[in-house]
Structure 1
Amino acid sequence: MARTAPTSIELVADGIRLEVVTAGAAVRRLVLTDEEQPVDVVLGFADPTAYGTGLDYLGATIGRYGNRIAGARFTLDGAEQRLTPNENGNTLHGGAEGFDQRAWDVVEQDDRLVRLALHSPDGDQGFPGALDVTVTYSLGPNLVRIDYAATTDRDTVVSLTNHAYFNLDGDASGPVDDHELTVSADAFTVAGPQLLPTGELRDVTGTPFDFRRPTRIGDALAADDEQLVLGGGIDHNLVVRGSGLRHVATVRGTSGRTLVIESDQPGVQVYTGAHFDGTVVGTSGTAYGARAGVALETQGFPDAPNHAGFPSTVLRAGDTYASTTTWRLGRED
């Protein structure tokens, strides 16, 4: 039976146009309009029915828990919670049927804002508590703001993020090796087998994860480092300096276009898209090869429910999870 295309919502502000689809509350296009030729700087499926299928997470809202939880289980207040495994016996991006595969409801919309909502029942993918979630995309001049909110009727864990892949030279322009990346991070969470955190926070000095100064992504990937071997490139959580809504990362393409990301989350997963192999065709009609885009997922730490030393991702009944991430587009000539 043919799949049904999700509803598409287009938001417009000075300099940008954003397309969001209801399947996975996903970003499909982010078009810079103040150009001789408008350019789309995120990767998106040419076929809109690919959204919600669990393929590649392109632009999707990730939940209940972004990144990996070891052994598809964690203990909360002395009670073990067993989750649905979907990667090597672990839980990745919320489990076998994460929020990226759900049909979200549009609850508010105008030319510059859309709010989407989702109800996740108690026990969904093994997570305790009924969770009500909203994600709001709103635009300003050359700015995308993403606001997440969630409430629960039982204590649970939550870490929401967006899985957009960026290519500031345009989604059809090939690998992002020549992009320069800066991240406000002095440490990263060391990965062990299956890219699960070991619990160690390692200083970035002398490692391929030192992006404190603008660094060509291809140069970082060329380093001789066992962590890069484990990740097939960079697929690691960096520990963002400071607290509150602050600078996380800046990306600069060869075009001079820039993306500045701010967030209030403690970490950012930098993923250089090694898995793209030409099977996904983008909105421009071009097949995406390895490193066609870089994902910068603002997040709680991976596997935090199993590491007492990591920032807590517990949401208590009666409390509200609230998080903000912004993407600001610009140009350096």
Structure 2
Amino acid sequence: MTQLITLANESGVQLKLMTTGAALLSLTVPVGESQREVLLGCKPEDYAKQQVYLNAMVGRFANRIADSVLHYQGETYHLVPSQGANCLHGGKDGFDRREWSVVSQQEDKVTLLLHSADGDQGFPGECDVTLTYALEGTDLLIDIQATVSKPSPVNLTCHGYFNLDGKRSDVRDHALMVNASRYLPIDGMGIPLSVPQPVEAALDLRHSHLLKDRWLSHPQLISAKGFDHCYLLDTAGSDEVAARLTSADEKLTMEVLTNQPGIQVYTGNYLAGAPSRDNELYHDYEGVCLETQLLPDSPNRPELGDPWLLPGTIYHHQTRYRFIAG
């Protein structure tokens, strides 16, 4: 049975989440004299009805693996498809559908645990994940560690849908900057077409732009119905800001800092029909996801990096969402 958890700190930040999917339900931050909701979300009892990974922790491998197959050192592993022929976000019964266990909880921090069996969704080896959500000042810190019993690709991310307006609105009125000079062009199913390419025209987000000003003005954006692309961060291994999102009224900014090499920018292109808190179903483009991660389809494509975790080593993902009112 799902457990509901509320965290809060002296800075006035409050986070609500549940153990099912380790999914976030609400995140409010102080803006002026009021609290502003910065996440989309649904009622806990409606979570099972949605198919858009609403604020969930996704894995064992976030993003897409082409044809739902893994090849590694002469072995072939067939995964459970979850988007056409491809494996998206770990399969049909990925980590977003699992019941996580609470290891420890403080007023401003909670640590959750998930065990994934050998062969889970076709992935080799057991996988044990420790996930911490912590409020630090006006930051939400997400820290993930994982180990495996056999070589396995591991790639987790928070699939949070952000809207900094504090109300239901079109997120294309937000401004976005992504500190990346390369991205992955994709086919119609979101599988990378090639090695990373230089950002160009509407796909160049190195300077802050309103999303609507770039809207569907590039063949890649037309094909995906918006942004759904992995950017290779120029900030990898540094403390620089990887991405910056600003509300339509410019009263709230969110900065993203991460130790991950990529960030998937997804503008909620297929959000329509998902349940909301207010009983009116969500529409497309009401939230934007900034999913820090390893690169899609990399388990079978060494040119995109090596996501294979080996026994005796630790996967460590850390992402910080920093909120700045002003």
Both proteins in one fold, TM over 0.5: yes
Amino acid across the alignment from 1:89: A
CA distance in 1, matches of 2:36, 2:259: 28
CA distance in 1, matches of 2:258, 2:159: 14
CA distance in 2, matches of 1:24, 1:222: 32
Amino acid across the alignment from 2:261: P
Correspondence 1:29 to 2:11: no
Amino acid across the alignment from 1:145: L
- For residues 1-333 of structure 1, the aligned pairs below 5 Å read 6-13=2-9, 14-45=11-42, 47-52=43-48, 55-170=51-166, 172-206=167-201, 208-223=202-217, 225-246=218-239, 247-256=241-250, 257-277=252-272, 279-332=273-326
Measure how far apart 1:178 and its partner are. Answer: 1.2
CA distance in 2, matches of 1:222, 1:85: 29
Measure how far apart 1:200 and its partner are. Answer: 2.5
Task: State the Cα RMSD in Å.
Answer: 1.4
Amino acid across the alignment from 2:233: V
CA distance in 2, matches of 1:121, 1:280: 30
Q: Tell me the alpha carbon deviations over residues 197-244 of structure 1, each in whole angstroms, 9 at most, x when there is no partner.
A: 0123111132x2211100111111141x22112211110101101322
Amino acid across the alignment from 1:261: V
CA distance in 1, matches of 2:16, 2:229: 28
CA distance in 2, matches of 1:32, 1:308: 41
Q: Tell me the alpha carbon deviations over residues 279-327 of structure 1, each in whole angstroms, 9 at most, x when there is no partner.
A: 3342245532110000000010000012110111110011111110000
Amino acid across the alignment from 2:298: A
CA distance in 1, matches of 2:271, 2:308: 33
Amino acid across the alignment from 2:226: G
CA distance in 2, matches of 1:79, 1:35: 57
What stretches of structure 2 of length at least 5 have no aligned partner? none
1:230 aligned counterpart, secondary structure? helix
109-118 vs 234-243, which moves further: 234-243
CA distance in 1, matches of 2:249, 2:188: 37
Q: Equivalent pairs: percent with the same residue?
A: 36
Q: TM-score, normalised by structure 1?
A: 0.93
Q: Tell me the alpha carbon deviations over residues 94-152 of structure 1, each in whole angstroms, 9 at most, x when there is no partner.
A: 00100000000000101010001000000000000000001100111111100000011
CA distance in 1, matches of 2:133, 2:39: 15
2:146 aligned counterpart, secondary structure? strand
Amino acid across the alignment from 1:32: V
CA distance in 2, matches of 1:311, 1:293: 29
Report if aligned partners of 2:139, 2:323 keep a CA contact under 8 Å in 1. Answer: yes
CA distance in 1, matches of 2:144, 2:17: 15
Report if aligned partners of 2:124, 2:150 keep a CA contact under 8 Å in 1. Answer: yes
**Aligned residues between the structures:** 323
Report if aligned partners of 1:304, 1:310 keep a CA contact under 8 Å in 2. Answer: yes
